[in-house]
Amino acid sequence: MTLKLGLPKGSLQDATIELFRRAGFQITVGARSYFPSIDDPEIECMLIRAQEMARYVEDGVLDAGLTGYDWVREQDAQVVTVADLIYS
């Protein structure tokens, strides 16, 4: 089974990739691709606007995603917060 993970594109993209690098993962983003590669065969990444992340998770398109709590509230998405990550 593969984990479908949403990564925020835009202003948090580089900081998120660095967060994963510090955790031991290598994420490579190709030019004009919404599907970065990661060095874990059990994870599939997808770049999504942070504003839309909660909706993709709620709808089951993604299993998990990194976004701000403000976007979850604004979308009124029925998702579970797993952890508060402080980075940028």
* CATH for 17: 3.40.190.10
Kindly state whether residue 48 falls inside one of the protein's structural domains. Answer: yes
pLDDT tens digits, residue range 11-30?
999 999 999 999 999 999 98
Kindly state whether residue 80 falls inside one of the protein's structural domains. Answer: no
Kindly state whether residue 39 falls inside one of the protein's structural domains. Answer: yes
pLDDT of 7: 98
Domain extent at residue 48: 3-75
Kindly state whether residue 28 falls inside one of the protein's structural domains. Answer: yes
pLDDT of 27: 98
Residue 81 has pLDDT above 90, yes or no: yes
Could you give the residue ranges of the DSSP H alpha helices within the chain?
Answer: 13-22, 50-58, 69-75
Query: For residue 66, how many other CB atoms are within 10 A of its CB?
Result: 20
Total domain count for the chain? 1
- Mean pLDDT over each residue of the chain, to the nearest integer: 95
pLDDT tens digits, residue range 31-49?
888 999 999 999 999 999 9
pLDDT of 87: 81
Kindly state whether residue 33 falls inside one of the protein's structural domains. Answer: yes
Kindly state whether residue 69 falls inside one of the protein's structural domains. Answer: yes
pLDDT of 32: 85
> pTM value?
0.91
Q: How far apart are CA 2 and CA 65, in angstroms?
A: 14
